[in-house]
Amino acid sequence: MGRTSIIVAAVTVAMTAACTADQEAPTPPPPAATTTTPSVEPGYAVGQRELDLSRGDRKLRTVLLYPAAGTEGDPIRAGAAPAPGRFPVVLYSHGLHGTPERYVPAAATWAAAGFVVALPAYPYTSAEAEEYRREDLRNQPEDAAFVIRKVRDLGRENGEQLQGRIDGDHVAAVGHSAGGYTTNGLFTEDHDPRLKAGIVLAGWMAPGAFHGAPASMLFIHGDSDPVVPVADSRAAYDQVPWPKAYVLLPRNHHAAYMLPGNRGFPEMESLVTDFLRWTLKGDPAARDRFAGMVRNFPGDPGTMGV
Asked whether residue 305 is domain-assigned, the answer is no
Q: 92-106, pLDDT tens digit by residue?
A: 999 999 999 999 999
pLDDT in tens, 174-211: 999 999 999 999 999 999 999 999 999 999 999 999 99
pLDDT for residue 22 is more than 50: no
Domain span including residue 219 = 6-295
pLDDT of residue 201: 97
Predicted TM-score of the model (pTM): 0.85
Helices (H), 213-282: 230-239, 265-281
Is the pLDDT confidence value at 166 over 70? yes
80 in any annotated domain? yes
Half-sphere exposure of 288 (CA within 13 A, CB side): 8
Measure the CA–CA gap between 62 and 294, rounded to whole angstroms.
33
Tens digit of each residue's pLDDT (9 = 90 or more) over 46-65? 999 999 999 999 999 999 99
Confidence of residue 302 (pLDDT cuts 50, 70, 90): low
Residue 125 inside a domain? The answer is yes
Provide mean pLDDT across the span 112-123: 98
The average confidence (pLDDT) of the chain is: 86
Q: Is residue 304 part of a domain?
A: no
Query: What is the pLDDT at residue 198?
Result: 98
Count of alpha carbons within 13 Å of 88, Cβ hemisphere only? Answer: 24
Q: What is the DSSP string of 65-86?
A: EEEESS-TTPPPEETPPBPSS-
Model pLDDT, residue 42: 74
Beta carbons of 65 and 107 less than 8 angstroms apart: yes
Q: Is 303 part of a structural domain of the chain?
A: no
Domain containing residue 173: CATH number: 3.40.50.1820
- N- to C-terminal Cα separation, the chain: 22
- Domains of the chain: total: 1
pLDDT at site 53: 98
Q: Are 245 and 33 spatial neighbours (Cβ–Cβ below 8 Å)?
A: no
Among 53, 95, 65, 301, smallest CA distance to 204 is for: 95
Nearest Cα residue to 56 out of 131, 142, 118:
142
**Secondary structure class of 221 (helix, strand, coil):** strand
Strand arrangement of the beta sheet that strand 116-120 belongs to = 12-13, 244-249, 216-222, 195-201, 166-176, 87-93, 116-120, 58-68, 45-55, 77-78
Q: Is 192 exposed, middle or buried (0-12, 13-18, 19+ CB in 10 A)?
A: middle
Note whether residue 301 is domain-resident. Answer: no
The CA dihedral of 41, 46, 49, 51, to the nearest 10 degrees, is: 20
